[in-house]
Amino acid sequence: MAKILCVLYEDPIDGYPKTYARDSIPKLERYPDGQTLPTPKHIDFKPGELLGSVSGELGLRKFLEGKGHTFIVTSDKDGPDSVFEKELPDTDIVISQPFWPAYLTEERFAKAKKLKLAITAGIGSDHVDLQAAIEKGTTVAEVTYCNSNSVAEHNVMAILTLARNYIPSYQWVIDKGWNIADCVERAYDIEGMTVGIVGSGRIGLGTLKRLKAFDVKLHYTDRHRLPETTEKELGLTFHENVESLVSVCDIVALCCPLHPETEHLFNDKLINKMKRGAYLVNTARGKICDRDAVVRALESGQLAGYAGDVWFPQPAPNDHPWRTMPHHGMTPHVSGTSLSAQARYAAGVREILECWFENKPIRDEYLIVNKGKLAGTGKHSYSAGNATRGSEEASKFEVQK
């Protein structure tokens, strides 16, 4: 029997919900490219429930304990005295989400002598030291595509929130004001603007498709160029490199994976090549941007706004400067964990576990590392190496009661 250690974010501060705002969520049959949604044999939850917090347990307890496995769920993941650290040495399988990641560093791999499988409940496995996973022969899998369109929707929302100066306008209402001039002095239409997407995978392409209706000029860069038919359909301009793209764009959205080649890509040098007053949206990974370079650019006016929901580390320390920098539209990492997305990634985790326990192949598109090398989606999207350095700073976060 296996020991499964699952790290999920904490329940709502007023308790696990007894009711929900809506009675149901739409049922999808397939993703836009034809890939099927997760296909577990059974699920023990109702789609639309809160599954990503500790009480939700990804709907897995009945399934796992019914087969005799040990299932431990915790939100306590950071530091040497955490539940995660204490339970790790004899754990066979780790499940974690990008939103509240259990960082599997080289040091933790060294302690996890029995670890065979690391599952990301969501997409983006950069919280795992992929180089260590390769060397240790640990399989890494994620639920590819489960929340890509959720993040694409968030991208459009963030772009409009910044350009239309929505958050300060909302705040005037809360403050009982009617300060129209204060609201609109930084508000612009995006119609006619040039929008660039860095990374045209499922999230990037989904963002491009959603932005087409706004009559903007669409540009993109990626190491894998899209088919010519897609470029013509969406009116896309391709750039061979990110430097070329950022120099012509009013808005840049980051949709690329984090790996050693993209770590701190948006530093002072690159941000200063952007148009003055451009907007930068990052729902990819916080570490793709240099933290302090973003702050400097907002303070100087080089950037008119920065929004997104990804930080490094996660959760971000209470004194993280992105919490207080000017003209930002930051949220905790929520874009990919809507209740709709949770139903898909919880089902996908169960599908992966069913395959693992039955010694059946895991879908190729779910694989990141397998048999000592990058595989499946990992081979397409990542490069070998480690992007977890500095993750110990997450231990500085203190829950605000």
Q: What is the mean pLDDT of each run of 10 residues along the chain (401 residues)?
A: 98 97 95 95 98 98 98 96 97 97 96 98 95 97 97 98 98 97 98 98 97 98 97 98 98 95 96 98 97 98 97 93 98 98 98 98 97 94 82 70 46
pLDDT of residue 401: 46
- Look at residue 219 and give its three-state secondary structure: strand
Of 330, 346, 364, the position where a domain reaches its end is 330
139 and 164 in one domain? no
On whether residue 401 sits in a domain, the answer given is no
Number of structural domains (the chain) is 2
CATH of the domain at 216: 3.40.50.720
141 and 23 in one domain? yes
On whether residue 272 sits in a domain, the answer given is yes
123 and 251 in one domain? no
**333: annotated active-site residue:** yes
117 and 221 in one domain? no
Per DSSP, helices labelled H in 192-338 are 202-211, 228-234, 242-246, 268-271, 291-300
Of 154, 239, 285, 350, which residue is the catalytic one? 285
141 and 11 in one domain? yes
357 and 281 in one domain? no
pLDDT of residue 215: 98
How many angstroms separate the CA atoms of 75 and 9, rounded?
5
On whether residue 88 sits in a domain, the answer given is yes
pLDDT of residue 136: 96
341 and 316 in one domain? no
160 and 29 in one domain? no
153 and 140 in one domain? no
Contacts of 18 (CB under 8 A, 6+ apart): none
On whether residue 43 sits in a domain, the answer given is yes
On whether residue 399 sits in a domain, the answer given is no
How many angstroms separate the CA atoms of 266 and 289, rounded?
5
364 and 345 in one domain? yes
Range of the domain at 123: 3-146+337-376+383-394
On whether residue 400 sits in a domain, the answer given is no
pLDDT of residue 390: 77
On whether residue 129 sits in a domain, the answer given is yes
**314: annotated active-site residue:** yes
On whether residue 183 sits in a domain, the answer given is yes
Per DSSP, helices labelled H in 175-201 are 180-184
Q: CA angle, 126 as apex, 307 and 351 as ends, to 5°?
A: 105
pLDDT of residue 104: 97
- In Å, the largest CA–CA distance within the chain is 65
282: which DSSP letter?
E
What is the side-by-side strand order in the sheet with 303-308? 236-239, 217-221, 194-198, 251-254, 278-282, 303-308, 328-330
Per DSSP, helices labelled H in 59-191 are 61-66, 83-87, 106-111, 130-136, 148-163, 166-174, 180-184
pLDDT of residue 383: 81
Of 147, 155, 165, 370, which residue is the catalytic one? 147
What pLDDT digit, counting tens, does each position of 195-251 carry?
999 999 999 999 999 999 999 999 999 999 999 999 999 999 999 999 999 999 999
181 and 323 in one domain? yes
**400: annotated active-site residue:** no
Of 328, 333, 350, 363, which residue is the catalytic one? 333
324 and 181 in one domain? yes
